[in-house]
Amino acid sequence: MNWLYDSVEPRVMDEDMLKLAVGEQGPRDEAGQLARQEGILFKDVLSLRLDFQNILRIDSLWQFENLRKLQLDNNIIEKIEGLERLVHLVWLDLSFNNIEAIEGLDTLVNLEDLSLFNNRISKIDSLDALVKLQVLSLGNNEISHVTNIIYLRRFKDLRTLSLSGNPIAEEEDYKMFICAYLPDLVYLDFRRIDDHMKELAEIKHQYGIDELKQRENLTQAQLDDERAQREELEEHKAAFVERLNGSFLFDSMYAEDVEGNKLAHLPGVSELLQAYKDKFVIICLNIFEYGLKQQEKRKVELDTFNECVQEAIQENREQGKRRIAKFEETHLLSLNAIRDESEVTNLEMKVAEHSKDITELFDMLMTLEMQLVEQLEETINTFERNIMDLVALFIENVQSLMAQCRDLENHHHEKLLEISINTLEKILKGELDEDLPYDVRALFVDKDTIVNAVGTSHDLHLLKIDNREDELVTRTNSWCSHLVDAIHKDEIMRNRRRVKEIHQYVDHVQNELDNLECSEIID
Amino acid sequence: MEVLKEKVEEEEEAEREEAAVRAERGEKVVRPMEVRREEAPMTQEMLRDLEKKLSDIEMAIPEKLSTFTKDTIDISKLPLSYQSNTLKEEHLLQVADSFSRQYSHLCPDRVPLFLHPLNECEVPKLVSTTIRPTLMPYPELYNWDSCAQFVSDFLTMVPLLDPLKPPSHLYSPTTVLKYQEGNCFDFSTLLCSMLLGAGYDAYCVNGYGSQDMCQMDLTRDVCPLTVKHQEVVQEEEKVPPKKYAIKPPRDLTSRFQQEQETKKLEEIKAEEERRLREEEERLLREEDKEATQYPSTFLWMISHPESQRRKPDVEKAKTDPLHGLRVHSWVLVLSGKREVPESFFIDPFTARSYSTQDDHFLGIESLWNHKNYWVNMQDCWNCCKDLVFDLGDPVRWEYLLLGTEKSHLSLTEEEEDGLNDDDDVENLGKEDEDKSFDMPPSWVEQIEISPEAFETRCPNGKKVIQYKRAKLEKWAPYLNSNGLVCRLTTYEDLECTKTLEIKEWFQNREDMLELKHIDKSTGLNVDYFKPGHPQALRVHSYKSMQPETDRIMEFYDRARVDGLVKREETSKTMTEYYRGRSDFLSYRHVSFGDRVKKLSLNSAESNPRPIVKITERFARNPEQPADEDVAERVFLISEERIQLRYHCRDDHITASKREFLRRSEVDNKGNKIVMTPDMCISFEVEPMEHTKKLLYQYEAMMRLKNEEKLSRHQAWESELEVLEILKLREEEEEEHRLTISIYDTKRNEKSKEYREAMERVMHEEHLRQVEAQLDYLAPFLAQLPPSEKMTRWQAMRVKDECLSDFKQRLIDKANLIQARFEKETQELQKKQQWYQENQVTLTVEDEDLYLSYCSQAMFRIRILEQRLNRHKELAPLKYLALEEKLYKDPRLVEFMKVFV
């Protein structure tokens, strides 16, 4: 395609080339003079034009962090690359190049206008990240399949599209098809789509669209469902009682329990198992509900705490602002007075006075800050205590409920053991009427085997319960300690910031005074 | 004795006045007669007519001028019920008489009851029957306060002839309304009638009131309009301290010192109070001395209430020697009906409500409503404070008629009564058939208030009330050409000589002016406007209408495009407050310098004051980071400096600042300086790299320069607007046009014209219809012998005659046209002949004349020809139409049928 440039040597995008371009395209006149004086940093550049440069490879652009508009048209670029860092890019022009596939655009989430006119692209894809896309120019490419258009349905903001010059545009139904499947489109191939056309297209392709819509809706609904479920689980996890609102724990106990499952075939065990399961699930549900309730409580506690702390900080901030405002008034006045003063003794006196004012302000602000720190510390400690208590209570109660689970298990174990031994005796005596599966019968060889089997099953169950409990306890504790740590850390950060701010301000004020003094003395 | 003498004097005076009035009236009547006599002789009829008219006039005059005595009321026009008593009423009067006798026998030390005074026709009527419960058709008169206000506005107060006795006459409310005058009994009867009609449990009270109340003397009362509404301080709901609320810092001030401080303050206060008390006592002593010098002051005051009111008043009321003896009548509203939570009194003169414990009410003799009459049997030693208004308690309240209105003692029964008032009579009968006697219906006619009277309210639409240090004047709407409806003048002193402030209320002004408040002491005028002023003005306070003086204008900011709320001006500054702007501007302050004297005498160009400084403040723009969102910018124009202050970040206490100096455009060598680091001084809360760049600062400065220009332009425009508003206000003040609602059919000229036009059209239409109904058969029917039934033959003849007559007329008409046509043609021919003969000698003018004549004649001929043809065409049709009509004529139709 680019036979025009075939004879020309490809150029490399290097520092000099970029500097030149930036300098040429930067501010003009007086501002340009200033810009030249200071030099322009690449990261301040908002717009860059690099057309007709015979660039083969996109390179060295990583410094242009804030670039909004990039023109790379009329080069011999073959691959889209090196644009990953330009996340603020809104406008990207890559027309009249030799690009064969769309790629490397996954980080450009702000892109609104993309031009790939006159390239060698045959498939529209890898544009998923470009959710804000409004204008897409893909004319004079090698796109041939209509599925490419259906791909474009995901861009809700897409209004302008050009596809002329593609094999697909040769098709008879081309326009109608696009109008029907992209109903929000306003301009197609540089022309406005009239409403009449849209209606016609819609009627023509109604069945296809309806089907497509149906499919899309289904997928959407599925996604929504999944998300809702995920959110719910997330919520339960935050309460540390996820998956306790059912028989999940119970089922997991028996999932790996080979012996237990085998023993379930014994007469009377299935009923026993059922009863056991019911009771177990009820306890699990108890834990679950209790957990949610506690979570609510903790949340309320945390919210109240945050609110109070915010209020305190806000109040303190207002006071500080008032002080500064008051100071600023006097500051201006005394600065003026000092400026106007001619007598040296008076001048010195005034300067000294004002320095005193500044120190006073500094002391005042620092006092305020220290006061707040003290107050907050006390509050934070109270909160810490309370939340610890809450968590401890929660853990204690959950543990007692878990103990109930264990009791149930023990009880069940005893019963099972009894039944097993009875069965063993029966088998030994040959009184057993029912047929047992072969592998189950294999257990009833002697007493040790059966007792061992039942014991293994029991141990496994207890282990599962213990694990669940441990998980809950550790997670709760870690959450608590994290929370408290974060609060402390935030408070410390806040304090540091404020102290730094105060220092900075006072330094600035002092500087102002000093500068004045210096100039005065020099004068 | 002195009282009597005074009374005689007063009567004499009244007579004298009347005589004077009569004399005046006589003159008025006589004079036009004389004038007429000099004119051409009049017919007897005219004379009689005139006499009649004059007599009508004569009737009207005394009514207006009279002091409302019985001889001025035209009794003859009153209905019969006014002039006589029905049997039942006679019976009732007898009952009342015996009741009165028993009462005086049992309580010989009490004054006789006010039971059946004479009405305007000198007929005794029981007071209860004088009450006529009426619900007024105006929604404004549905509540007691507006009712009372109306009565007090509508009637002029006439003091009782004898302040110590109830009046001998009690006129009907209709008469009182007609003459708009009355004493306290008339007032309370009318008010009670209205309140009962509106569903209140109201009673007329005959009792004793304080002097001020009886004489409607408000000069010692503070005008209710001047009393400022006390701001109800809303108790802030105490938020329970939150769980984690921080503890306040420790209070390190000494409590002992605080206590000492408060103690000292209290001492000072006590000292002050003592001093004030002493002062007061001293004043009082002086007053007493003054009072003793005029022992008969009170008598003089009684007979001259007007002059008494004008007399310099004193702060403290003098002790009234007739205290507790002055008869007054007011209205009692008992709780229960119309959701009245507590019983209260209404003084009908002032329309104020008082609690039943009030000091102004010194005792109650009796009270009544339209159903019964009760005598108070309780002791009034402590005014009305100990009275129990339980009318069902026969020990406290002696009733005239048994059990008309049931007691409050038996609550259930009372409720029943409340539910079905109509059944009262029945219930009564069952209870006590022998003794019961229910109150006859009122003899008074339905009370009616015309809409005009209701709107005018006060007699002649004007009323003046004198309060303590204040005067209230009221006018009917549209009475004053500038829309003034109410004026309250407040005075500094009790004599009402030094005006303190004037408040004027307006209505229906086209410029939406609602209230004008003039403070005489400071010279400050404040105008308040309703929404709808062309410049969205809300409040305008000023000392003079000159521009560039102190003034404050407030606006309805929702109605303005620029969201201006308030503009304050002094001679050197202008401050504007904005709200709800898209550029977040909330405040702009402009300081002006002195005018520079212009050298050139080119005075056509205006010389605006130079702007020294512009300060603009902005609200926070949530879309920008705080460090880039300007909070305040100050353009120091004379110093060529621009100061910027940015908004404070949410978690910071300091804000960024930046100052641009643009002093040096050119350096000392003459080179142009674009930008140097010392031209921008900035303090940044969090220093950022890009803002340090000169380029950034240069661009910012260029932007600010532009904005400075814009701000200056804005300031200039604001000045212009002020001038415009002032001009507009002056125009409005001069014109003071009033708006008239389109629903106001009486005042709205346009609708009136439209209505009249419609009426005229209707009238014309009617005339045309009458014409159209001309009877074409009438002349022929008249020929027939009257009052006989037409025979068929006669009918036929009538028809034929009618037709032939019509035919004849058609022919005549054709002939007439023909004759005219021929005449015209002949004349034309003659003229043509004449022309041909004299063609040679004719002048040009004559020829022109001839030609024009010819063309006109030809035109006439052609028209006649057309007419003739048309007539010929239409005549047969017309003939047929008439024939058909005759066939269908109701008078002939029965005869015609046979033939058809």
ipTM: 0.74
Cα–Cα distances in Å, from B884 out to B250, B508, B626, B771, B893?
A: 117, 63, 98, 21, 11
Residue A450, min C-alpha distance to chain B (Å):
60
Mean pLDDT of chain B: 77
pLDDT digits (tens, 9 = 90+) for B722-780: 889 999 888 888 877 787 777 777 777 777 888 889 999 999 988 888 776 767 777 77
In degrees and rounded to multiples of 5, residue B663 shows phi and psi of -70, -45
Q: Which tokens in the block code for residue B116?
A: 């059946």
Are A371 and B249 inside 8 Å of each other by CB? yes
Q: Are strands B462-467 and B470-475 parallel, antiparallel or unpaired?
A: antiparallel
> Rounded to the nearest 5 degrees, what angle is found at the Cα of B24, between the Cα atoms of B22 and B29?
90
Contacts of A312 in chain B (CB under 8 A): 245-246
Whole-number pLDDT of residue A134: 93
pLDDT of residue B114: 86
As a whole number of angstroms, the distance between CA B718 and CA B568 comes to 11
If you average pLDDT over residues B72-89, what whole number do you get?
80
According to CATH, the superfamily of the domain at A4-204 is Ribonuclease Inhibitor (3.80.10.10)
Given a contact cutoff of 8 angstroms between Cβ atoms, the answer to whether A105 and A90 are in contact is no
Q: What is the DSSP string of B707-743?
A: HHHHHHHHHHHHHHHHHHHHHHHHHHHHH--B---TT
The reported pLDDT for the residue numbered A93 is 93
B170-191 as b/e: b if 16+ CB within 10 A: bbbbbbbbebbbbbbbbbbbbb
Provide the pLDDT confidence category of residue A61 given band limits of 50, 70 and 90. Answer: confident
Contacts of A375 in chain B (CB under 8 A): 246-247, 249
Comparing C-alpha atoms, which of A191, A186, A117 is closest to residue A158?
A186
A501, pLDDT greater than 80? yes
DSSP state of B317: P
Confidence at residue A262, expressed as pLDDT on a 0 to 100 scale: 81
Q: Cβ B654–A317 below 8 Å, yes or no?
A: no
CA atoms of A414 and B839, how far apart (whole Å) = 159
Mean pLDDT of B194-223: 83
Pick from B242, B246, B648: CB nearest A321: B648
- Is the pLDDT at A222 greater than 90, yes or no? yes
Q: Within A136-268, where are the H helices? A: 147-151, 167-170, 174-181, 195-204, 206-238, 248-255, 258-263
Q: What is the Cα–Cα distance from A253 to A169, expressed in whole angstroms?
A: 62
Measure CB to CB from residue A304 to each of B242, B653, B654 and give the nearest one: B242
Per residue in A439-475, pLDDT (tens digit) is 777 778 788 888 888 888 889 889 988 998 999 999 9
Residues 645-664 of B with CB under 8 A from A: 648, 651-654
Interchain pair B245, A321: CB under 8 A: no
DSSP state of B166: -
- How far B262 CA sits from the closest chain A CA (Å)? 28
**How far apart, in whole angstroms, are the C-alpha atoms of residue B78 and residue B75?**
5
A101 touches B at CB < 8 Å: no
Instruction: List phi, psi (to 5°) of B516.
Output: -120, 125
Q: Are B128 and B93 in contact (CB under 8 A)?
A: no
Residue A258 or residue B665, greater confidence: A258
Band (pLDDT 50/70/90 cuts) for residue B597 is low
Chain B: give the shortest CA distance to residue A384, in Å.
11
**Structure confidence at residue B391 (pLDDT):** 82
Distances (CA, A) of A10 to A77, A99, A101, A501: 10, 15, 20, 53
DSSP string covering B84-129, please?
S--HHHHHHHHHHHHHHHHHHHH-TTSPPP----B-TTS-B--HHH
Beta carbons of A30 and B675 less than 8 Å apart: yes
Q: What is the pLDDT of residue A219?
A: 93
Write down how long chain A is: 523
Question: Percent of chain B having pLDDT more than 90?
Answer: 9
* Token pair for B832: 């043509």
Angle formed by the axes of helices A206-238 and A269-340, to 10°?
Answer: 90
Quick check: A262 contacting B, CB < 8 Å?
A: no
pLDDT tens for each residue of B394-412: 888 888 887 655 444 444 4
pLDDT at B501: 87
**Which of B249, B683, B698 lies at the smallest CB-CB distance from A31?**
B698
Share of chain A above pLDDT 70, in %: 97
- Does residue B664 carry a pLDDT above 70? no
pLDDT score recorded for residue A231: 93
Find the residue in A nearest to B685 (Cα): A501
pLDDT, residue A431, reads 74
* Domain boundaries, given as residue ranges, for chain A: 4-204, 284-522
Give the total residue count for chain B: 900
Say whether B291 sits in a helix, a strand or coil.
helix
Q: What's the CA gap between A199 and A209, in Å, rounded? A: 13
Q: pTM for the full model? A: 0.64
Q: B156-157 and B573-578: which strand pairing?
A: unpaired
CA distance to partner chain A, nearest, from residue B234 (Å): 23
pLDDT digits (tens, 9 = 90+) for B541-586: 988 888 788 889 999 988 888 889 999 988 888 999 999 888 899 9
Question: What confidence category does residue B673 fall into, taking pLDDT thresholds of 50, 70 and 90?
Answer: low
Q: Which residues of A touch B705 (CB under 8 A)?
A: none
Residue A94: predicted pLDDT: 92
Least confident span in B20-29, B175-184, B880-889: B20-29
- Preferred mutation among B243, B244, B646 to probe A, highest tally of A CBs within 10 A: B244
CA distance A461 to A273: 13
Q: How much is the pLDDT for B342?
A: 86
Q: CB within 8 A of A171, min separation 6: which ones?
A: A146, A177
B246/A379 Cβ within 8 A:
yes
- The counts of H helices and E strands in chain A are 13, 8
Which token pair is B198?
A: 């509106």
Q: What is the pLDDT of residues B25-36, one digit of tens each?
A: 444 444 444 444
Q: Which of residues 674-703 of B touch A (CB under 8 A)?
A: 674-675, 683, 685, 690, 693-695, 698-699
- The Cα-based distances of A254 to A188, A245, A249, A282 in angstroms read 62, 17, 9, 17
